[in-house]
Structure 1
Amino acid sequence: MRLKPWAAVAAAVPLAAGCVAGPAAGPARASSGTSQSSSAESPPARATASRTARPPKVPPGTTASWLVFDRQRGKFVATRHAHRKYRSASVIKILIAIDFLESRRTVSAADARLLKIMLRESDDDAASTFWDRGGKGAIVTRMARKLRLPDTTPPPASKPGFWGYATLSAHDVVRTYRYLLDTASPRVRDTILGHLRAATPCGSDGFDQAFGIPDGVPGRKAVKQGWSGFGLTPPVRCDARTQSASISLVASRAADARVPDYGRPVLYTTGLVGKDERYVMAVLTAHPAGSAWRGSVNRITKLTAGLYRSVT
């Protein structure tokens, strides 16, 4: 989940048999109260909750965007720079999964395992396997068109293997979750959200992915995290298992002005939170160049906790 996308490493994923159990059933689908084509798809310049709590203050030097949609009320309740573009990092794995599942009726045991570790553990090699098969950037083009994601674009043509260099925004991430909840077939919805509800505390690369929503928001949740720019290895290994090597070093040699926030580490926390998954939340952050992992994690977790309190 760092900056992870290199097509050349895709074949490295071992396809272990037997690890293909389907995700646990989640809560019943709740209506958002609006269709995908409704006016609620475009957040107002200042969406506010009917509460007295104030949105969190962004620390100096940190860039932050967020968007929160209240499915019960059918409206956006908090927004900040919702259309600001970021490099996608591992959040793009949701679109990779949608594209893969919607292109076929059945999934092999080996592919079911790859989907599981890609979504639960944010495994990079699994993502690269699906990226190659789906035509690389063509996946993003198809999904952006189908889901009507105005800020989502493929990686630069000079770097077709770097799926983490696609662009997205808080608006497009929230819209993607709403597509899964309200439009996607039950098979696609239950597979993807089931895995996100069972996201592991540790990524397959040894990074701790429990920042933001997992640590800052109480209760059950479905989450997809993203991080990039923090080096080859975690400062403190979250888990001794490491299934894939970091591609951050390769990415660091491929600077491109078309990649948002290139040279700055980024952390993203996205998902469904609250009772009956009432809120769809996306918090995207870019931190000062050279920022340490722990300080950056603390910043996004504090922002996320404050944002959740402000809308509940």
Structure 2
Amino acid sequence: MRKVNLLFLVGLCLGALTGLTVVVLRPPGHSPVAVAEIGRAAEKPITTSETPEDPKNPSSASLEALLPQGHVSALVFDRAKGTFALSVNADRAYTSASLVKLLIALNAQESGESRALIEKMLSHSDDAIASRLWVEGGETSIVTNAIQRMGLTGTQPPSNPGRWGDTKITAADVVRIYDYLLDEAPAPARDLILNALHDATEYGSDGFRQYFGIPDAVGGLPWAVKQGWSCCDPTMMLHTTGLVGKNRYLVVVLTEQPKSVGYDAAKQQITNVVKNLLPLLGN
């Protein structure tokens, strides 16, 4: 009789084990996830709002530490792989300063404006030309049209139509603008704008040195950049954006700081941010 009971108990235990689902416990507030589901979750594509944890790569905290009094957003998009190597504060809004000239240039080229005029506006970051093309192109409609065409989600035209540099942008939207330029814009517009960005002069038309960030940080790697700077309403903006490594990598770094930091210190800080991104710009 005891033998029969023992066998019966063993059978019950084996049956219970075969029906068991192993779970991984998460912190309070999260429901358990079966082990089989972990592999599926890891296959999700990387978006601008999430990047893999990697001790070799810069983190949000390490980049923000380089601007102790300010804010930084950074994106690195590998066009060959179609993935983001880094995404930090991708959806934070900043005043665009001269980055909006990319939209002004696209609109002006489509309207048949002088090629030489557009090239100078971009390569020299010429504000006078930008103001002229902004007015002739319809002012805020340049931005609203781009929002619809490119699917920009964090961009807003300036509340004062006369202040094109007050356009609001995000790092994620700047990547979308470059994507449109490289992959969807007509060839004449693409070639015109890329040539101008490759030929960016060391000093802008206002005498401001615009080789901070990407140009100063990447050494001998080829680059094409559109920079932005403005002060002080009430803070100071300094942005470096463009293509690195024969147009393979899209790099966008946007910063905002109190005016007390000063441009010299701010330039060095944003250059240091880009230097921290260099390990991501490999093959």
TM-score range, shorter chain: 0.7 to 0.9
User: Residue 234 of structure 2 corresponds to which residue in structure 1?
Assistant: 263
Cα distance in 2 between the residues matched to 1:134 and 1:43: 33
| Corresponding position of 1:206 | 207
One-letter amino acid of the structure 2 residue matched with residue 266 of structure 1: M
Q: Using CA pairs below 8 Å that are at least 6 residues apart, which structure has the higher relative contact order?
A: 1
Question: Corresponding residue for 2:85?
Answer: 77
Identify if the C-alpha distance between structure 1 residues 137 and 74 changes in structure 2 by more than 3 Å, giving closer, same or farther.
same
The answer for the alignment partner of 1:137 in structure 2 is 140
The structure having more radius of gyration, on CA atoms, is: 2
Deviation at 1:112, TM superposition (A): 2.2
Contact 1:70 1:280 in 2 (8 A): yes
User: Aligned residue for 1:67?
Assistant: 75
Read off the aligned partner of 1:81 and give its amino acid letter. Answer: N
Aligned to 1:47: 51
Q: Which residue pairs with 2:63 in the alignment?
A: 57
One-letter amino acid of the counterpart of residue 63, structure 2: K
TM-score of the superposition, structure 2-length normalised?
Answer: 0.78
Aligned-residue RMSD, C-alpha = 1.9
Q: Percent identity?
A: 41
| Aligned equivalent of 1:309, options 270, 274, 279 | 279
Q: How does 1:35-184 map to 2 (within 5 A)?
A: 43-48=47-52, 52-55=56-59, 56-58=62-64, 59-104=67-112, 107=113, 111-156=114-159, 159-184=160-185
CA shift digits 1:34-76 (9 cap, x unpaired)? xxxxx97x82432248782334432321100011110111111
Normalised by the length of structure 1, the TM-score is 0.71
| 1:131-174 deviation line (CA, Å, top 9, x unaligned) | 00011101100011101111111100xx2110001111101111
Provide closer, same or farther for how the CA distance between residues 51 and 220 of structure 1 changes in structure 2, counting only shifts above 3 A. farther
Secondary structure of the 1:208 match is coil
Counterparts of 2:242 and 2:48, CA distance in 1:
21
Contact 2:109/2:115 (<8 A) preserved? no
Indicate the residue corresponding to 2:249 in structure 1.
279
> Going by fraction, where is helix more abundant, 1 or 2?
2
Distance in 2, matches of 1:53 and 1:164, equals 32
Contact 1:51 1:311 in 2 (8 A): no
Q: Which runs of 5+ in 2 are unaligned?
A: 1-43
Contact 1:49/1:311 (8 A) holds in 2: no
- 1:175-215 per-residue CA deviation (whole Å, 9 max, x = no partner) reads 11111111111111000011001100100000000100010
Contact 2:70 2:258 survives alignment (8 Å): yes
Query: Alpha carbons of 1:57 and 1:66: their partners in 2 closer, same or farther (altered >3 Å)?
Result: closer
**In structure 1, what is the equivalent of residue 229 of structure 2?**
227
Q: SS state of the match for residue 63, structure 2?
A: coil
Measured at CA, do residues 305 and 69 of structure 1 come closer, stay the same or move farther in structure 2, by a change above 3 Å?
same
Question: Following TM superposition, by how much is the alpha carbon of 1:311 offset from its aligned partner in structure 2, in angstroms?
Answer: 4.8
SS at the partner of 1:118? helix
Aligned length: 234
Matched, 1:295 2:265: yes
**Aligned residues of 1:49 and 1:310 also touching (Cα < 8 A):** no
